[in-house]
A = this chain, B = another copy of it.
Amino acid sequence: MEKSTVQLAVVLASGGLDSCVTLAIAKKESREIALLHASYGQRTEARERRAVEDIASFYRISHRLFVTLNFLKEIGGSSLTNENLPLEEALLASSPTSQIPSTYVPFRNSLFLSVAVSWAEALGAGKIYIGASAVDAPGYPDCRRQYFEAFNRLIEVGTKPETEIEIVTPLIGLSKAEIIKKGVQLGAPLHLTWSCYQNQDLACGRCSSCRLRLKAFNEAGIKDPVPYAKEVKIS
C-alpha cells in the first residue's frame, strides 16, 4: 500500500457541491469508495438522496449505505427539520445571541461521523472523507479544524486497538468558490448536485443555500450547471 493511497475510504455524501468535490478528491486518493448518506427528516430529503444516487452512479460506486436518523426531527432545534419555523431567506440569518444559523442541527456532524466510523470499522476502511469547510460556515461549531481534531482523538481511544481510521477534510481551508474551481478541475459532476433548502424540483435560487451557491459560482467565474426556478440576480 502506497503512503498516499488508502485501500478503502468511506465518503460522506449529502448530494451537495462540497461532498461531490470531496468524493472526486477521495476517488483519486483511494482504491475503493464506500458512500454514506444520512437523512434526518430534512425538508429536501428525497431530492438529496436522488442527487447522491446520481453522483454514485456517475462514479460507478456500488457500495452505498443510506441511513435514516429520523429522531433528529423529533429532537428539533433546527429550521431544517422543523417545518413550522420559517426558513430564513437571508444569506446568513442567525440567532441574535450566538451567530449560529437557524439551520444548525445540534451535533449533526458527530452523528454522521459516528455512523461513518461504525461502518468504517466494520468494513476495515482507513479513512473517512467529509466535505466540511470552515471558511463558508463560520457559524457551525462542528465544521472547524479543532472539532475534527477532537473527533480523530475520539476515534483513537474509542475503537479497537488495531483499528486505524482518520477523518479527512480536504476542503476545510477552501472557500465555496475555490471548492467549485477544484471540482471543475477534477471533472466532478457538479451538474448532478443539489443545494436548495426549499424545493424538490427546480432550485429556488432564494434560500440561504441557493444564494451561497450562486454567489460562489459567480466568484469562481463559472456558470452553475443546475437550472433554477426563476432568474436570480447576484448582488
Interface residues of A (CB under 8 A from B): 65, 67-69, 71-72, 74-77, 97-98, 100, 104-111, 114-115, 117-119, 121-122, 141-142, 144, 146-147, 150-151, 153-162
Contact = CB atoms under 8 A, between A and B. Distances in A.
14 contacts: A65-B74, A65-B75, A71-B115, A106-B122, A106-B159, A109-B158, A111-B111, A111-B118, A147-B154, A150-B158, A151-B154, A151-B158, A153-B154, A154-B154
B97 A162 contact: yes
A80 B74 CA distance: 27
Nearest to A99: B161
Q: How many copies does the complex hold?
A: 2
Query: Which secondary structure dominates where chain A touches chain B?
Result: helix
Would you list the 5 A-B pairs with minimal beta carbon distance, nearest first? A77-B122, A106-B121, A67-B71, A110-B114, A107-B118
B118 A162 contact: no
B158 A122 contact: no
A157 B162 CA distance: 27
Contacts of A153: 150, 153-154
A115 B68 CA distance: 13
Contacts of A107: 114, 117-118, 121, 155, 158-159
A141 B122 contact: no
